[in-house]
Chains A and B, each alone.
Chain A
Amino acid sequence: MYCYLYDDYIQENKRFEKELLKIENRLTDLGIAGKISRLALFRNAEEMIRDEIDRGVETVVVVGNDETVRKTINVLSDSSVVLGIIPIGPNNELARMLGIPEGVLACDVLSARHVDEIDMGTINGRKFVTGIRIPDFKAELMADDGKFRITATSKSSLEIRNLQEDSDPCDGMLHAVIQSQVKEKKLFGRLLNTQSILPFTSLAIRADKPFSLFADGLIMEGTRFDIGIEPKTLKIITGKERIFQA
């Protein structure tokens, strides 16, 4: 049983009307039409999904963008329900990485139903799919239950990667990537860009002063963040053009 979750920006924007009609017709042709639930300003997406899961829904299809997906992943990764995406409009980077084309073409990917189980990252108990970014990294990383710590000795940025161009979301690991700028150790030395990579399953980021980071694009602020991984907890429909090999 399928449930389609329409984001409110699609319903409010008339330019998506024709595309939605095409999608609904195609889903009916493919025999995978289902209940339509519509997100709205004061309707909690997670509660809506929980209600649908209780009614026996096996697949929740997000009709929207990355932001719509983000509203659903906390609930879906705790269940055996499969997530599908029909990307519409801008800001659909996640769908692109999963090999799902935009609009009506996504219906055929849904129908083919190739399901991958991907890892989910956690940060202070909240889940993320793609990764975390700290543009100005001045904190320290504590790894391996505090057995060692990593600091940047020059201007750096930090990324924690799960599902990205060059990381595998099915390997049970996250990768901390520190990009640094260092000066060559010689007279008139140039600035060099270096990249450190640390695979891990749990990590803490600490600082004396509050700092900001972006988890799946959502800003968070604090002095301590505990990061971990839940291997293969999100079942998601992917297309042939996905950027990883499961």
Chain B
Amino acid sequence: MFKKDAHMAHATSGSETIIAQGVKVEGDFTSNGNVLIDGEVVGSVKAAQNLQIGQSARIHASVVAMTALVAGEILGDLEATERLELTSTSKIRGNITTAMLSVEPGAEINGTITMNNPEQGKRAGRRATSDEYVQEAG
């Protein structure tokens, strides 16, 4: 009883959620802290703070976070209220809404991009592109 397991090495820092490879989440997933996804999610994801989507992640969901760093694949709309970074391996098939966007060469975006001006408040910003904006950088 109460034996410690030798291979339990990772630290659980506060309310950080990690969805690693080998795990699938279905439904409306909400977190008040930071979220790191390397696994599979179907439904919707809401992270009150930072969201990191790894290269092996497969997201079939609408995603909302304060800031997001995406290296994996998202099929669904993506909203990062403050900042969004898309790495060269990211693939987005859905509409993007954010206040600040960074896109690495190689990132694939199929959808509209709406830029919110952070100084004018959320969702009060200007539309940066036409309705059907397709970008394939790199």
- CB pair B22–A148 under 8 Å, yes or no, is no
Given B1, B18, B30, which contacts A195 in the complex, CB threshold below 8 Å? B18
A interface SS class: strand
CA separation between A173 and B3, bound complex, in Å? 21
B interface SS class: loop
Within 8 A of B (CB), among A211-240: 216-218
Given B17, B26, B27, which contacts A197 in the complex, CB threshold below 8 Å? B17
- CB pair A216–B20 under 8 Å, yes or no, is no
CA separation between A134 and B38, bound complex, in Å? 22
B5 to chain A, nearest CB (A): 7
Given A181, A182, A218, which contacts B1 in the complex, CB threshold below 8 Å? A218
A201 to chain B, nearest CB (A): 11
Determine if B56 is an interface residue (Cβ-Cβ < 8 Å): yes
Within 8 A of B (CB), among A186-224: 192-199, 216-218
Chain A residue contacts of B9, Cβ below 8 A:
166
Chain A residue contacts of B15, Cβ below 8 A:
173, 199
Determine if B75 is an interface residue (Cβ-Cβ < 8 Å): no
- CB pair B24–A66 under 8 Å, yes or no, is no
User: Number of B residues whose C-beta is below 8 Å from A?
Assistant: 34
Given B18, B29, B33, which contacts A148 in the complex, CB threshold below 8 Å? B29
Given A150, A196, A217, which contacts B2 in the complex, CB threshold below 8 Å? A217
- CB pair B2–A199 under 8 Å, yes or no, is no
- CB pair B16–A178 under 8 Å, yes or no, is no
Q: Return the chain A residue nearest B18 by Cβ.
A: A197
Given A93, A149, A197, A199, which contacts B25 in the complex, CB threshold below 8 Å? A149
B25 to chain A, nearest CB (A): 5
Contact with B along A88-102 (1 / 0, CB 8 A): 000101100100000
Chain B residue contacts of A181, Cβ below 8 A:
22
CA separation between A67 and B17, bound complex, in Å? 32
- CB pair A196–B19 under 8 Å, yes or no, is yes
Chain B residue contacts of A72, Cβ below 8 A:
none
- Listed by A's residue number, 30 A-B pairs whose Cβ atoms lie within 8 Å are A91-B1, A93-B3, A94-B1, A133-B5, A146-B27, A147-B29, A148-B28, A148-B43, A150-B19, A152-B22, A152-B24, A153-B24, A154-B21, A154-B22, A159-B5, A159-B8, A164-B8, A166-B9, A166-B10, A177-B8, A177-B12, A179-B7, A179-B8, A180-B22, A180-B23, A182-B22, A192-B21, A198-B18, A198-B19, A199-B17
Extra contacts besides A161-B12, A175-B12, A195-B10 (19): CB < 8 Å: A91-B1, A93-B1, A129-B2, A148-B26, A150-B23, A152-B22, A152-B23, A153-B39, A153-B40, A166-B12, A177-B10, A178-B22, A193-B7, A195-B18, A195-B20, A197-B16, A197-B17, A198-B17, A199-B33
- Which A residues are within 8 Å of any B CB, using their own CB? 66-67, 70, 91, 93-94, 97, 129-130, 133, 144, 146-154, 156, 159, 161, 164-167, 171, 173, 175, 177-182, 185, 192-199, 216-218
